[in-house]
Structure 1
Amino acid sequence: MLRSMYAGISGMKGMQQKLDVIGNNIANVNTSGYKKGRVTFQDMMSQTVSAAQEPAGNLGGKNPSQVGLGSQLGSIDNIHTQGNRQTTNRPLDLAIEGDGMFAVTEGTETFYTRSGNFYLDQSGAIVNNNGQYLADTDGNNITIPSDAKSFSVQSNGTVSYINDAGNPDEAGTVGLAQFANPAGLEKVGSNMFRMTNNANNGAPDLEAPGTGGRGTMVSGALEMSNVDLGGEFTEMITAQRGFQANTRIITTSDEILQELVNLKR
């Protein structure tokens, strides 16, 4: 069989994977805190027709002659750039301007997210739409007493409220996690990321917004997806054309094989 046919098959598989990632990005264009994916490719091993030779005698050196055997998936990267901010004027909609991620807990497990749409449960604890608790700088839940008359979240993460006596009080400070390699986090769905060994050297410290290189917090706003529709549609077109070009390689190789078969006649 012709090597070009198998190279075309590998190219088709790669373009299909790229379209899968692009489709997921477009599907999440309005998902708060979503971080888009990006596909990179790399060539497969090459078959050496003739090896390199050093200069010898009256002849100079020769470069190697190699035939590539197709392409393969290099990586699917998560791009953690800042998304656009959407104003909601809702006090428990929190956006991070800069680096850092919210930490939410479920039992002994901690997840991380940039989606800041939080709510109060029956006990006054701040939770997300999955019921996971928003962690403070000590990793504990942040709870606003039921008799509080009003509450607000400051840019430094402090959750303050007016108690029953009419005096200001604090419920805690929202903790932000910062990672050495945010792209190393694992997506687990529901706008959540899980720690991996390549994201950070151990569990990250939770510190107040604006400290340790972390961004500030904006109450009454949400960070939206960082997906650029114009860029995604452009990538979709290139992936589609790439897929078509690889199918043409297969059909052309098939025509050549057909000509070889017809030589028998």
Structure 2
Amino acid sequence: MDGPGIIGLSGQVALQRQLEATANNIANMNTAGFRRDRMLFQSFVSPLAVPGRQVAFVQDRATYVDVGQGAIETTGNPLDAAINGEGFFAIERPGNAGRGYSRDGRLRIGADRTLVDSSGRPVLDDGGNRILMPERSTALEIRADGSIIATIDRLPQQVARLGLFRANEPRAVRKAGDGLYEIPQAELRPVDPQARSTRIAQGALEASSVHAVGEITNLTDLQRSYERMQKIMSDDDSRLRRMIEALGRPN
């Protein structure tokens, strides 16, 4: 494959990955706590065997999570909790599969009185333990520092504090296939409950950080770029065919 073919193919592969990331963003426009994916590209220039000749192509290096936060929307549900600032809730995966992290604050109380996320997975406290809600509680308050206060026999009692964790390097955060985020252990840091930059809003949820109009416009532009790249490759293929046919004709 010659220069234009390599350039066209590498461009199409990169555009295909970006199309997939953009389509996934659009599909999660209404997912609470969702953060959109972004692509990181790198250009290469490689020398050819022919002296003085070189070929340039592009490669998608990685997909990373955009650190931009979604809007905080009031729901009125006392078990909804939005993180205003950096940080993630700690979630226990089933089957001793370790921990994952989430911005989705749709919490509820399970059948065994354990505080769980919207998928029924236990939410962990700042010590990494499950949070068990008292049976006789009549009211629940989630304070700005993550403290969970239950009213028992008309007396407020602290049950636990939601565990909040962040990545030392935000771009080290990766999405897992179970809807949770992964944070490498070396980058994992607890969020200080007294930090004013991160507060919990009870009765609210963080909306998706996807901007619908921008993503749909981006999707349209990517599709057009993919079609233009396809035309370039098709024209180059036609050129090569005509060249071969001309050289193959007898004089």
Question: Which TM-score applies when normalising by structure 2?
Answer: 0.89
Q: CA deviation at 1:132?
A: 2.1
Q: Name the CA distance, whole Å, in 2 between partners of 1:104 and 1:158.
A: 17
SS at match of 1:177: strand
Matching of residues 198-217 of structure 1 within 5 Å: 200=187, 203-205=188-190, 207-208=192-193, 210-211=194-195, 214-217=197-200
The answer to whether the 8 Å contact 1:151/1:160 transfers is yes
Q: What amino acid maps onto 1:70 in structure 2?
A: F
Q: CA deviation at 1:214?
A: 5.0
1:161 aligned residue:
150
CA displacement, residues 63-85 of structure 1 (integer Å, 9 cap, x when unaligned): xx553242211221111211112
Aligned pair count?
246
Q: Name the CA distance, whole Å, in 1 between partners of 2:60 and 2:143.
A: 44
Q: Name the CA distance, whole Å, in 2 between partners of 1:2 and 1:126.
A: 59
The answer to whether the 8 Å contact 2:65/2:174 transfers is no
Q: Name the CA distance, whole Å, in 2 between partners of 1:10 and 1:108.
A: 37
Q: Structure 1, unaligned stretches of length 5 or more?
A: 52-64
2:235 aligned residue:
252
1:120 aligned residue:
109
Q: CA deviation at 1:101?
A: 0.9
Q: CA deviation at 1:28?
A: 0.7
Please identify, of 236-245 and 23-32, the stretch whose mean Cα deviation from structure 2 is larger. Answer: 236-245
Q: Name the CA distance, whole Å, in 2 between partners of 1:102 and 1:205.
A: 10
The answer to whether the 8 Å contact 2:168/2:189 transfers is no
SS at match of 2:237: helix
Matching of residues 124-163 of structure 1 within 5 Å: 124-163=113-152
Matching of residues 179-198 of structure 1 within 5 Å: 179-196=167-184
Q: Share of identical aligned residues, percent? A: 27
Q: Structure 2, unaligned stretches of length 5 or more?
A: none
RMSD value, Cα: 2.2
Q: CA deviation at 1:195?
A: 2.6
SS at match of 1:189: coil
- Structure 1 stretches of 4+ with a deviation exceeding 3 A read 48-51
Q: Name the CA distance, whole Å, in 1 between partners of 2:155 and 2:62.
A: 54
The answer to whether the 8 Å contact 1:34/1:115 transfers is yes
Bigger Cα Rg:
1
Of Structure 1 and Structure 2, which has the larger fraction of its residues in helix? 2
SS at match of 1:70: strand
Change (3 A) 1:66 1:33: farther
